[in-house]
């Protein structure tokens, strides 16, 4: 989707393999990531989800395979190199300096200097601008230590926007968040897509995946077992692929599980809270309001 004519995908992975000792973590992975879409990568623990994202981010190097960015073959030797290529990433446990404010944390290690002097005014201005892009109500002068877990995640996402990336990689962006915080982060992800960016997210929570993704990639035991357009699949189909379900009886057990019913109800709650979060931000609670 989001392709025109003979335009190559934004990112193409061909035969990506990686081993840790004698363990094959990824086995001949082939995947296209298109422009202006949200792709969710799902799978059981140890399936290879985060490993795949870390290869795209430059954190890990594949043992074999080819990576193409905008149709050109590339190597991504480091996270810094990925950043220069327009690939930004947010991993779990993002570190902040609790003694600094939001703006200072956004520019940590990338401070704006004029004549050797740090330009706080310019950094504050750019911080407001990037947070306003997300419709975030976070104030740039707030101490980072005063923010909730969800707000800190928002700052981590905002930090990726400073270099105007094409592709943003998110590893479990809604983990350990409340329903409202989750809804806000998911609404920010939708906003990133509406601005023309592509988001690849690892996520274990299927209601979040179905709420925001355009395509779902299922990884099982180091291989891609399925790629689905979200509007054309279901919880049952995705769970079955994650679990490696092979029989009709096993498939029926999925739909009869109380866990499945809980996911359906949670998805409806997320949709309502996402709408509430968007409505609240639309009323003018911008990051620039001090």
Kindly report, residue by residue over 103-145, the tens digit of the pLDDT: 999 988 788 887 777 888 888 898 888 888 776 778 889 999 9
Kindly report, residue by residue over 193-211, the tens digit of the pLDDT: 999 999 999 998 888 999 9
pLDDT at 290: 37
Tokens of 254: 């999925």
Could you tell me if residue 117 is inside a domain? no
Domain at 85, CATH number:
3.40.50.300
Report the alpha-carbon distance of residue 63 to residue 18 in Å, rounded: 5
Range of the domain at 219: 11-95+166-282
Report the alpha-carbon distance of residue 46 to residue 31 in Å, rounded: 19
| Confidence (pTM) | 0.83
Could you tell me if residue 3 is inside a domain? no
Report the alpha-carbon distance of residue 239 to residue 76 in Å, rounded: 32
Work out the percent of the chain whose per-residue pLDDT is above 70.
81
Kindly report, residue by residue over 62-96, the tens digit of the pLDDT: 999 999 999 999 999 999 999 999 999 998 766 78
Between 254 and 21, the higher pLDDT residue: 21
Report the alpha-carbon distance of residue 286 to residue 290 in Å, rounded: 9
Could you tell me if residue 157 is inside a domain? no
Could you tell me if residue 102 is inside a domain? no
Could you tell me if residue 273 is inside a domain? yes
CA 172 from chain center: how many Å? 7
pLDDT at 261: 57
Could you tell me if residue 195 is inside a domain? yes
Residues 6+ apart with CB under 8 A from 64: 15, 16, 17
Kindly report, residue by residue over 174-197, the tens digit of the pLDDT: 888 888 888 888 988 998 999 999
Report the alpha-carbon distance of residue 182 to residue 175 in Å, rounded: 8
Rg (alpha carbons) of the chain, rounded to whole number: 20
Could you tell me if residue 204 is inside a domain? yes
Could you tell me if residue 216 is inside a domain? yes
Q: In total, how many domains does the chain have?
A: 1
């Amino acid at each position: 989707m989001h392709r025109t004519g003979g335009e190559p995908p934004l990112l193409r992975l061909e035969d990506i393999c990686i081993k840790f000792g004698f363990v094959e973590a990824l086995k001949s992975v082939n995947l296209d990531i298109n422009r202006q879409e949200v792709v969710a990568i799902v799978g059981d623990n140890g399936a290879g989800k985060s490993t795949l994202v870390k290869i795209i981010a430059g954190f890990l190097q594949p043992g074999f395979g080819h990576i193409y960015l905008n149709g050109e073959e590339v190597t991504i030797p480091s996270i810094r190199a990925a950043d220069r290529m327009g690939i930004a990433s947010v991993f779990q446990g993002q570190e902040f300096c609790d003694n600094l404010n939001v703006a200072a944390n956004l520019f940590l290690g990338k401070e704006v200097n004029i004549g050797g002097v740090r330009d706080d005014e310019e950094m504050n201005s750019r911080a407001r601008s990037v947070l306003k892009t997300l419709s975030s109500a976070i104030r740039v002068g707030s101490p980072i230590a005063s923010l909730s877990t969800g707000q800190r995640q928002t700052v981590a996402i905002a930090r990726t926007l400073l270099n105007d990336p094409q592709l943003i990689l998110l590893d479990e962006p809604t983990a350990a968040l409340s329903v409202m915080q989750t809804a806000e982060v998911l609404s920010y992800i939708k906003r990133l897509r509406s601005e023309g960016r592509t988001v690849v997210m690892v996520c274990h929570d299927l209601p979040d995946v179905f709420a925001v993704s355009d395509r779902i990639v299922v990884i099982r035991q180091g291989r891609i077992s399925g790629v689905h357009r979200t509007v054309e699949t279901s919880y049952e189909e995705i769970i079955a692929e994650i679990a490696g379900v092979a029989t009709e009886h096993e498939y029926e057990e999925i739909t009869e599980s109380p866990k499945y019913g809980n996911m359906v109800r949670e998805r409806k709650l997320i949709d309502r809270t996402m709408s509430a979060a968007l409505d609240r931000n639309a009323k003018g609670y911008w990051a620039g309001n001090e």
